[in-house]
Amino acid sequence: MRSRPDDYTGAPPPETEPSEPNSYDFGVTDMVTDTPEDGIGRNEWISYALMVVGWFILIRSVSSFVRARRTEQVVLASPDRGLGMAVVADDEQPARAV
């Protein structure tokens, strides 16, 4: 259990309470931080570079997958499966060998 000072009332200390919370006058120019002269910052360039790298990895992996599927289809379509002779198990027919 936490120990409390003897004079604890539950309210915040008076120095943290604002004198008049509704007396602030903020304009639109005070709130806007992105101005046209700022340009693109460093974080934006890093995010664009990471997106380009990610798209490159994605496109390359999809193209590699498609190439592997085409190679698989060519190997499966050839009667000797790319070897000098067909590989057939003892109990299977040559037409059904994969």
- Residue 42 or 66, more confident: 66
pTM attached to this predicted model = 0.43
What is the rounded average pLDDT of the residues 15-40?
Answer: 65
Q: What confidence score (pLDDT) does residue 9 get? A: 64
Residue-level pLDDT at 90: 74
**pLDDT confidence of residue 83:** 62
What's the token pair of residue 9?
């009332």
Residue 86 contacts residue 97 (beta carbons within 8 Å): yes
| Per-range mean pLDDT, top range of 1-5, 24-28, 51-55, 94-98 | 51-55
Kindly report each contact of residues 78-82 with a partner whose C-beta sits within 8 Å and lies 24 or more positions away, as own/partner.
none
